[in-house]
Amino acid sequence: QVQLVESGGGLVQAGGSLRLSCAASGRTFSNYAMGWFRQAPGKEREFVAGISSGVRRTYYADSVKGRFTISRDNAKNTVYLQMNSLKPEDTADYFCAAARAQLHTIVVEQRGYDYWGQGTQVTVSS
């Protein structure tokens, strides 16, 4: 069982930055692929970024590529999402998730994830 707790959300002006953190319980964090998703009001939850176990491959949604960076610190059981050049359309609840995936594999589909956090709210004002 893995428990995930997100933090770091808040209100920021367009063009600003935020760093989200997701702290995971358990001793096998390094074995999980991790991902960030978001859900804006009235919209479906969507993939934002993913990072594999092992060599830490990363993958991003086109909408955030070049602006967001996902990273992980296995010693701290934490995955991060650095968000720069934020836009009003980035406003959403952001969720982290953990997947029991093969080594070095990034998981993009929501159904591929086994554990989810409760989310943290990000609001970007124009």
Any bridge partners for residue 49, and if so which? 36, 60
Q: Where are the beta strands (DSSP E) in the chain?
A: 4-7, 10-13, 18-24, 33-39, 46-51, 58-60, 68-73, 78-83, 92-99, 115-116, 120-125
- Taking Cα atoms as reference points, which of 7, 3, 28, 8 lies closest to residue 18? 8
Instruction: Assess whether pLDDT exceeds 90 at residue 27.
Output: no
Confidence of residue 115 (pLDDT cuts 50, 70, 90): very high
Confidence of residue 1 (pLDDT cuts 50, 70, 90): confident
CA torsion sign for 94, 98, 104, 107 is: negative
Q: Read off the pLDDT of residues 91-113 as tens digits, 9 standing for 90 and up.
A: 999 999 999 999 999 999 999 99
| 1-5, 25-29, 58-62, 74-78: least confident range | 25-29
